[in-house]
Amino acid sequence: MLYYIKHYPISLIILAIICYLSFFTPPKTDLNEIPNLDKLVHFCMYFGFSSMIWIEYLWSHSSIRWKRIIPGAVLLPILISGLIEILQENCTDTRSGDWLDFLANSVGALASIPACHYIYRFLVWRYLKRKSTDK
Protein backbone atom coordinates (compact mmCIF):
# COMPACT_ATOMS: atom_id res chain seq x y z
CA MET A 1 0.00 0.00 0.00
CA LEU A 2 2.88 2.35 0.80
CA TYR A 3 4.15 1.86 -2.77
CA TYR A 4 0.89 3.24 -4.19
CA ILE A 5 0.82 6.16 -1.78
CA LYS A 6 4.40 7.04 -2.75
CA HIS A 7 4.06 6.59 -6.54
CA TYR A 8 0.41 7.57 -7.14
CA PRO A 9 -0.45 10.28 -4.59
CA ILE A 10 -2.34 12.59 -6.96
CA SER A 11 -4.34 9.68 -8.41
CA LEU A 12 -5.38 8.66 -4.89
CA ILE A 13 -6.46 12.23 -4.13
CA ILE A 14 -8.49 12.31 -7.35
CA LEU A 15 -10.09 8.98 -6.40
CA ALA A 16 -11.07 10.39 -3.00
CA ILE A 17 -12.59 13.47 -4.69
CA ILE A 18 -14.52 11.27 -7.15
CA CYS A 19 -15.87 9.17 -4.27
CA TYR A 20 -16.94 12.30 -2.40
CA LEU A 21 -18.59 13.83 -5.46
CA SER A 22 -20.34 10.54 -6.23
CA PHE A 23 -22.12 10.39 -2.88
CA PHE A 24 -22.85 13.95 -1.82
CA THR A 25 -26.15 15.61 -2.73
CA PRO A 26 -25.42 18.24 -5.39
CA PRO A 27 -27.21 21.57 -5.17
CA LYS A 28 -29.87 22.43 -7.73
CA THR A 29 -28.60 24.90 -10.34
CA ASP A 30 -29.53 26.11 -13.80
CA LEU A 31 -26.86 23.75 -15.17
CA ASN A 32 -29.26 20.88 -14.43
CA GLU A 33 -31.27 22.06 -17.44
CA ILE A 34 -28.47 21.29 -19.90
CA PRO A 35 -29.18 17.83 -21.34
CA ASN A 36 -26.51 15.19 -20.70
CA LEU A 37 -24.12 17.62 -19.01
CA ASP A 38 -23.65 15.05 -16.25
CA LYS A 39 -22.42 12.52 -18.83
CA LEU A 40 -19.75 14.99 -19.95
CA VAL A 41 -18.77 15.50 -16.31
CA HIS A 42 -18.52 11.71 -15.81
CA PHE A 43 -16.38 11.39 -18.94
CA CYS A 44 -14.06 14.17 -17.78
CA MET A 45 -13.73 12.81 -14.24
CA TYR A 46 -12.67 9.36 -15.39
CA PHE A 47 -10.56 10.63 -18.28
CA GLY A 48 -8.72 12.80 -15.76
CA PHE A 49 -8.45 10.00 -13.19
CA SER A 50 -7.09 7.49 -15.70
CA SER A 51 -4.80 10.09 -17.25
CA MET A 52 -3.29 10.92 -13.87
CA ILE A 53 -2.60 7.25 -13.19
CA TRP A 54 -0.87 7.09 -16.59
CA ILE A 55 1.15 10.25 -15.91
CA GLU A 56 2.31 9.05 -12.50
CA TYR A 57 3.17 5.67 -14.01
CA LEU A 58 5.15 7.30 -16.83
CA TRP A 59 6.88 9.56 -14.32
CA SER A 60 8.31 6.61 -12.41
CA HIS A 61 8.93 4.14 -15.27
CA SER A 62 11.18 4.38 -18.31
CA SER A 63 9.13 1.95 -20.40
CA ILE A 64 5.50 0.93 -20.66
CA ARG A 65 4.56 -2.50 -19.36
CA TRP A 66 1.13 -2.89 -20.94
CA LYS A 67 0.17 -5.81 -18.67
CA ARG A 68 0.43 -3.43 -15.71
CA ILE A 69 -0.76 -0.11 -17.07
CA ILE A 70 -3.97 -1.27 -18.76
CA PRO A 71 -5.35 -3.01 -15.66
CA GLY A 72 -4.21 -0.20 -13.36
CA ALA A 73 -5.03 2.86 -15.43
CA VAL A 74 -8.05 1.66 -17.41
CA LEU A 75 -9.73 -1.43 -15.98
CA LEU A 76 -9.44 -0.37 -12.33
CA PRO A 77 -11.16 3.01 -12.90
CA ILE A 78 -13.91 1.25 -14.90
CA LEU A 79 -14.39 -1.26 -12.08
CA ILE A 80 -14.46 1.51 -9.47
CA SER A 81 -17.03 3.45 -11.49
CA GLY A 82 -19.27 0.40 -11.76
CA LEU A 83 -19.02 -0.21 -8.03
CA ILE A 84 -19.86 3.44 -7.31
CA GLU A 85 -22.92 3.28 -9.58
CA ILE A 86 -24.12 0.12 -7.81
CA LEU A 87 -23.55 1.71 -4.39
CA GLN A 88 -25.37 4.88 -5.46
CA GLU A 89 -28.37 2.81 -6.48
CA ASN A 90 -28.47 0.53 -3.46
CA CYS A 91 -27.00 2.52 -0.56
CA THR A 92 -28.23 6.11 -1.00
CA ASP A 93 -31.59 7.81 -1.07
CA THR A 94 -30.38 10.93 -2.86
CA ARG A 95 -28.41 9.38 -5.74
CA SER A 96 -29.29 6.74 -8.30
CA GLY A 97 -27.10 4.40 -10.28
CA ASP A 98 -27.17 5.01 -14.01
CA TRP A 99 -25.74 2.70 -16.65
CA LEU A 100 -25.23 5.66 -18.99
CA ASP A 101 -23.04 7.26 -16.31
CA PHE A 102 -21.08 4.00 -16.17
CA LEU A 103 -20.74 4.08 -19.96
CA ALA A 104 -19.50 7.70 -19.88
CA ASN A 105 -17.01 6.77 -17.13
CA SER A 106 -15.78 3.80 -19.16
CA VAL A 107 -15.40 5.80 -22.35
CA GLY A 108 -13.45 8.44 -20.40
CA ALA A 109 -11.06 5.82 -19.01
CA LEU A 110 -10.64 4.22 -22.43
CA ALA A 111 -10.05 7.60 -24.09
CA SER A 112 -7.05 8.09 -21.82
CA ILE A 113 -5.15 5.33 -23.65
CA PRO A 114 -4.35 7.17 -26.90
CA ALA A 115 -4.00 10.55 -25.17
CA CYS A 116 -1.53 9.22 -22.65
CA HIS A 117 0.38 6.96 -25.00
CA TYR A 118 0.86 9.51 -27.76
CA ILE A 119 0.84 12.86 -25.94
CA TYR A 120 1.60 12.54 -22.22
CA ARG A 121 4.26 9.87 -22.72
CA PHE A 122 6.21 12.18 -25.01
CA LEU A 123 5.87 15.16 -22.63
CA VAL A 124 6.69 13.29 -19.42
CA TRP A 125 9.66 11.41 -20.81
CA ARG A 126 10.98 14.50 -22.57
CA TYR A 127 10.83 16.41 -19.30
CA LEU A 128 12.48 13.57 -17.38
CA LYS A 129 15.25 13.25 -19.96
CA ARG A 130 15.96 16.97 -19.82
CA LYS A 131 15.85 16.91 -16.02
CA SER A 132 18.32 14.00 -15.83
CA THR A 133 20.76 15.64 -18.26
CA ASP A 134 20.71 18.94 -16.35
CA LYS A 135 22.51 17.37 -13.38
Structural domain that includes position 121: 36-133
Distance CA 77, CA 49 (A): 8
Higher-confidence residue of 96 and 47: namely 47
Look at residue 79 and tell me if it is in a domain.
Answer: yes
Distance CA 56, CA 50 (A): 10
Look at residue 11 and tell me if it is in a domain.
Answer: no
Instruction: Give the predicted TM-score (pTM) of the model.
Output: 0.88
Look at residue 40 and tell me if it is in a domain.
Answer: yes
Look at residue 49 and tell me if it is in a domain.
Answer: yes
Higher-confidence residue of 131 and 11: namely 11
pLDDT of residue 78: 98
pLDDT of residue 130: 53
For residue 73, the one-letter residue type is: A
Number of domains in the chain: 1
Look at residue 107 and tell me if it is in a domain.
Answer: yes
Sign of CA dihedral 70, 82, 2, 8: positive
> How high is the mean pLDDT of the chain?
90
Look at residue 72 and tell me if it is in a domain.
Answer: yes
Give the model's confidence band at 109: pLDDT under 50 very low, under 70 low, under 90 confident, else very high: very high
Give the model's confidence band at 133: pLDDT under 50 very low, under 70 low, under 90 confident, else very high: very low
Which DSSP category does 120 fall into? I
**Cα 57 vs. chain centroid, distance in angstroms?**
13
What tens digit of pLDDT does each residue of 46-67 get? 999 999 999 999 988 888 999 9
Which DSSP category does 98 fall into? -
pLDDT of residue 23: 93
Any residues with CB less than 8 A from the CB of 121 and at least 6 apart, and which? Answer: 58, 64
Distance CA 56, CA 15 (A): 14
